[in-house]
Amino acid sequence: MCYLYSTFRFQSLSVWGNKEVRSRLSWYHDVMRDLKPAKFLICKSIPCNKLEGASLADLWAEHGRLAELFKRKLEKVKAGAVDLAVEEHSFLDLKFELAKKMLDSCNYCEWNCRVNRNQGKVGVCRLDKVTRVASWFRHFGEEPPLVNTHGSGTIFFTGCMFRCVFCQNWSISQYPLAGEEVDENKLAEIMRALRRQGAHNINFVGGEPTPNIHTIIGGMLRLDVNIPMLWNSDMYGSVDAMNLLKEVIDIWLPDFKYGNDNCARRLSNVPNYFAVVARNHKIAGENGDMIIRHLVLPNHFECCTKPVLEWIAQNCPHALVNVMQQYYPDYKVIQHPEKYPDIARRLTSKEVEKAYEYAEKLGLVYEPVS
């Protein structure tokens, strides 16, 4: 989810002068500076057995084998080895095959709709197999380590599997047809253009990128430039989706909204929120650099802010955390404020300070000062 007009607790734009930011985002930093290859390029260099006519189970078995090879190769790359000749049939091809096949019975996210999106059926996200992009540009409103000097190459996909009543991007998240159709070739062109313009990363967002994993991995397959891949998501993907992503995403920008399932159900109409999103944060944290976002909501300190921050402190202590204060009522909260009286106003300065103080007490809020 992209938050417009973001304000940050990251206080200095010269963040890379700060040793702590640099060490916590070291992989991302090295790829951004072209000192290391992005993970998707490493995937392209790992040969895959040809598995024509193979079942989904066989493809996943091969994926498991190659994931182990990837781990070893990543360590070598980190140590300085750079043998990255592109294989004719690679780990990334396998990921693309799997992603396309999964659309026959979609389980990209925990709604687990099992609809055949390849045959035009739609699930909760209301998307068939066609990916649509509402806009793409270099975004200067993201966290300073992502924006740096030339911006974050942000691609806004339409559609979402959440129904957040306060969504700031409702005109694209809730209207899946509100964009231009793109296939993997077009997406690769967009990514190449963003890199040419100087973007420091490719920022997949929406709406929500998860329903478009097939096009995103296909786009990487056709991309021949080195640039870090950033996953800017509500983190409601399935374990299978996380398995496809964890070897191609260089930096995660997850959104941890709610500290319990009741608030998630009432405000985003999504079940089993906490367990799923917590699990995916753990997977992401074990597989890459990460900046976790938590948007503070009015009147949700005890039920959401507090448990989310406590969970992060216990489970992802190495992640940078952005405690966001820019909430404003939007979308259904404006249309029906009587239904959502708890969040029908902006935050007070006391609420903002309370959230920051608690995060600081847990050792979380990160304020790089040059």
Give the span between the Cα atoms of 116 and 129, in whole angstroms. Answer: 9
CB 31 within 8 A of CB 38: yes
> What separation, in Å, do the N-terminal and C-terminal C-alpha atoms of the chain show?
29
Tell whether the torsion through CA atoms of 129, 50, 75 and 61 is positive or negative.
positive
- Nearest-CA neighbor of 330 among 314, 316, 346, 354? 346
How many degrees, rounded to 5, is the angle at CA 342 between CA 337 and CA 347? 100
With binding defined as CB under 6 A, does residue 276 bind ligand SF4?
A: no
Phi, psi of 253 (to 5 degrees): -130, 70
Complex with ligand SF4: residue 151 or 211, whichever CB lies closer: 211
Percentages helix, strand, coil for the chain (3-state, rounded to 5) are 45, 15, 45
Complex with ligand SF4: residue 124 or 291, whichever CB lies closer: 124
Find the binder of ligand SF4 among 112, 262, 315, 370 (CB under 6 A). 112
Q: Assign 161 to helix, strand or coil.
A: coil
List strand residue ranges (DSSP E) for 187-264, in order.
202-205, 229-233, 251-254
Find the binder of ligand SF4 among 31, 74, 109, 164 (CB under 6 A). 109
- Tell me how far, at minimum, the Cβ of 210 lies from ligand SF4, in Å: 6
- Tell me how far, at minimum, the Cβ of 238 lies from ligand SF4, in Å: 7
With binding defined as CB under 6 A, does residue 273 bind ligand SF4?
A: no
Complex with ligand SF4: residue 107 or 169, whichever CB lies closer: 107
β-pair type (202-205, 180-182)? unpaired
Complex with ligand SF4: residue 244 or 347, whichever CB lies closer: 244
Q: Residues binding ligand SF4: what is the number (CB under 6 A)?
A: 14
* Positions 121 through 160 that interact with ligand SF4 (CB under 6 A): 123-125
With binding defined as CB under 6 A, does residue 107 bind ligand SF4?
A: yes
With binding defined as CB under 6 A, does residue 21 bind ligand SF4?
A: no
With binding defined as CB under 6 A, does residue 269 bind ligand SF4?
A: no
- Tell me how far, at minimum, the Cβ of 221 lies from ligand SF4, in Å: 20
Candidates 109-117, 177-185, 271-279, 336-344: pick the segment binding ligand SF4 (CB under 6 A). Answer: 109-117
Complex with ligand SF4: residue 144 or 209, whichever CB lies closer: 209
- Tell me how far, at minimum, the Cβ of 157 lies from ligand SF4, in Å: 11
Phi, psi of 283 (to 5 degrees): -60, -45
Residue type at 358 in one-letter notation = Y
Beta bridge mates, 255: 293
Give the span between the Cα atoms of 346 and 329, in whole angstroms. Answer: 7
* Positions 160 through 179 that interact with ligand SF4 (CB under 6 A): 161
- Tell me how far, at minimum, the Cβ of 113 lies from ligand SF4, in Å: 3
* Positions 197 through 216 that interact with ligand SF4 (CB under 6 A): 210-211
With binding defined as CB under 6 A, does residue 111 bind ligand SF4?
A: yes
Provide the 10 A C-beta neighbour count for residue 20: 12
Which tokens go with 114? 């099992």
Residue least distant from ligand SF4 (Cβ): 123
Chain residues that interact with ligand SF4, rule: CB under 6 A: 106-109, 111-113, 115, 123-125, 161, 210-211
